Amino acid sequence: MKYNSTTDKNIVVSASQAIAQGISTDGGLFVPQEIPQYSLSDIENLTKLDYVGRAKKILGDYLDDFTAEEIDECVTKAYTAEKFGSNDPSPLSYQKYGDIDMNILELWHGPTSAFKDMALQILPHLLTKSLKKTSSGKEAVILVATSGDTGKAALEGFKDVDGTKIMVFYPVDGVSPMQKRQMTTQEGSNVSVCAIRGNFDDAQTGVKKIFTNKELVAKLEEKNYIFSSANSINWGRLLPQIVYYFSAYSELVNDGKIKLGDKINIVVPTGNFGNILASYYAFRMGLPINKFICASNSNNVLTDFIATGTYDKNRSFYPTISPSMDILVSSNLERFLYHMTECDDKKVKEWMTQLKTKGAYTVDENVKEKITSLFAGGFCDDDSTTKTIGEFFNEYGYLCDTHTAVAVKVYKDYVEQTNDRTPVIIDSTASPYKFSSSVLKAIAKDDELPDDEFEMVELLNKKSNVSVPKPLAALKNKETRFTAVVDSDEMPQYVLKTLGVE
């Protein structure tokens, strides 16, 4: 199977090239030329496998220049019980909120307590194998822009991986104290972490600019380095996320919640549009999905896009209590538009150019209609997020983080407006302990709140009886290793300096 660039179909690469490069030379994103098709009996076969088995089947169908042994090695090394707490890295938790059934897909049982681990525990294996196939001997420099969770998950996935160096850029005031601590204390000999004066979009644009800076790329090539990406612009990030949608569906069937072939709804707290796009690929492969419900926080550019067909990032940016979704340029929407226009690379290029030059574009009426028939969008501000966490916990006994609460509230609104009771999967994307302060505020009294992050963790544990993820508890006694702060236009110099290249 080959991959094309979203903005130039004449660019054709293999799976391993797509993963090794991360982004196409023309600035477009790699998309599969064909989408594997699963019948109901294929899905029935998946229900009989464990997570590792499901992942091997799905990854194998997309990565046809990997051998079965290679896929096997990648998957079994990534999804261990040691790293994810059990053989099911993404357990479902069946909850009720009033009379609404909430089947919560907990995607945060990995080493960094956010759903990013689901892809970033396997990406280093996929990437090092891809590099061996495509650019023998080169050392990969992984550049990551993060709104908080990707950075830590990527650092943890790539630390001390031979043949790689990883650099993470985060907005200096745009991450939670726990997220910051997770990153600045990162161990490993090949890692570095740098704060950016600006927001996530500035960091992301900075990284994209480095990738497409021909002079810089050439300079590094001379020193035997090649850039790659661990952001969800990399196909190797997106592909592993398809697996948990098939896996969750299989578990719903196995648990008798649905019958094979029944349709489900999917609710995703969305930022860069990666996670929800993975569910769309699952749908295109044959997973019976009725509606995709795209949940945003106050940075509701996607809610407006789904409602109107106009994407307009010229608006206020709000730092919220769900910071991993504080994004105004959702990069993976580009892939979605490519598929929604039947692979019209010229259209996608035109819209992406308008986004760069004017900050806005409007899709054609037929594309808009297609999107609204499949997608519903909704958003939830910080006050409702807090109220939702409080109510879900106090009245119905389930503790969730701020991002998950956005999804829960948007879904609740959706059901109340539509009365669509199709069985649902709601993605839960982070452990509540990653955002202890905001979560505590929702369930405790103001005068109870401690100042210290780790005292908050203790209090949250005492109130909720939900156990604290071990790696988060261990951060308390770790030393800070990284303190650099730079402007986003200084990022190229930071990269050169860190690599010792002049």
Q: Which is nearer to ligand PLP, 429 or 488 (CB)?
A: 429
Return the number of the residue (180 or 403) whose C-beta is nearest ligand PLP: 403
Q: Tokens in use for 307?
A: 């409602």
To ligand PLP, the closest distance from the beta carbon of 135 in angstroms equals: 28
Helix (H) or strand (E) holding 149: helix 149-158
Question: 43 or 295, CB closer to ligand PLP?
Answer: 295
State which residue, 74 or 107, has the beta carbon closest to ligand PLP: 107
Based on the residue annotation, tell me whether 116 is a catalytic residue of this protein: yes
What are the structure tokens assigned to 183, written together?
């990153």
Question: Tokens 């599969």 sit at which residue?
Answer: 32
Question: In the block, which residue shows the tokens 């929604």?
Answer: 340
The bridge status of strand 289-296 relative to strand 191-197 is unpaired
Helix (H, G, I), strand (E, B) or coil at 482: coil
Structure tokens that stand for 335 in this block: 């892939």
Cα distance between residue 277 and residue 122, in whole Å: 18
Structure-block tokens of residue 497: 């300096």
Q: Look up residue 268 and give its two tokens.
A: 């995703």
Question: Is the CB of 114 or the CB of 486 nearer to ligand PLP?
Answer: 114
Report the C-alpha gap between 188 and 395 in whole angstroms. Answer: 43
419: left (phi over 0), alpha (psi -120 to 50) or beta: left
Q: Which two tokens stand for residue 115?
A: 């759903």
Q: How far apart are the first and last CA of the chain?
A: 39
* Those residues with Cβ within 8 angstroms of residue 447's Cβ, 6 or more apart along the chain or in another chain: none
Q: Token pair 């990534």 is at which residue?
A: 78
Contact between 169 and 203 (Cβ < 8 Å): yes
d(CA 17, CA 130) in angstroms, rounded, equals 7
Binding site for ligand PLP (CB under 6 A): 114, 116, 149, 232, 269-275, 324-325, 403, 429-430
Interatomic CA distance for residues 281 and 13, integer angstroms: 19
Measured from the CB atom, the residue of 95 and 331 that comes closer to ligand PLP is 331
Residue among 236 and 274 whose Cβ is closer to ligand PLP: 274
The candidate with the shortest Cα–Cα distance to 299, out of 209, 385, 177, 213, is 385
Which of 56, 57, 116, 349 does the annotation list as catalytic? Answer: 116
Residue 341: CB minimum distance to ligand PLP, A: 21
The nearest distance, CB 144 to ligand PLP, in angstroms, is 12
**Overall residue count recorded for the chain in this entry:** 502
By beta-carbon proximity to ligand PLP, the closer residue of 206 and 269 is 269
Report yes or no: 156 and 93 within 8 Å, Cβ to Cβ: no
Neighbour order of strands in the sheet with 2-5: 8-14, 2-5, 30-32
Q: C-beta of 217: minimal distance to ligand PLP in Å?
A: 26
- Report the catalytic residues: 116
